[in-house]
């Protein structure tokens, strides 16, 4: 039951945000590789500030509680003082379960 409620909240959040959906689909396409925000921006055509907002939340437009990191759909990897993001196993399973891929 908890998993079903979680999935419904995730789906609602993704339906409300094209940015979060596009980020997830790009990260799914390159899975299991990670990418940094500027690269995600270049490959999706979305402004880098909006990419950061979708990944980790930013101000009032991108609520942190609905960020991809907070929902457990994306992982943050820090290497050489750079932040990279990769679709989490949970995020990958969600996409495959919904047959969005």
Q: What are the pLDDT digits (tens) for 66-88?
A: 899 999 999 999 999 999 999 99
b/e map 36-55, b = 16+ CB within 10 Å? ebebbbeebebeeebbbbbb
Please give the domain boundaries of the chain with CATH numbers for all domains: 2-98 (1.10.10.10)
Confidence band for 59, pLDDT divided at 50, 70 and 90: confident
């Amino acid at each position: 039951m908890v998993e079903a409620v979680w999935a419904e909240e995730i789906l609602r959040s993704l339906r409300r945000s094209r940015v979060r959906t596009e980020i997830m689909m790009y990260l799914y396409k390159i899975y299991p590789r990670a990418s940094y925000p500027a690269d995600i921006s270049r490959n999706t055509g979305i402004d880098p500030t909006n990419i950061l907002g979708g990944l980790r939340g930013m101000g009032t437009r991108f609520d942190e509680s609905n960020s991809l990191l907070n929902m457990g759909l994306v992982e943050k990897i820090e290497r050489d003082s750079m932040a990279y993001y990769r679709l989490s196993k949970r995020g990958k399973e969600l996409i495959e379960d919904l047959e969005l891929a």
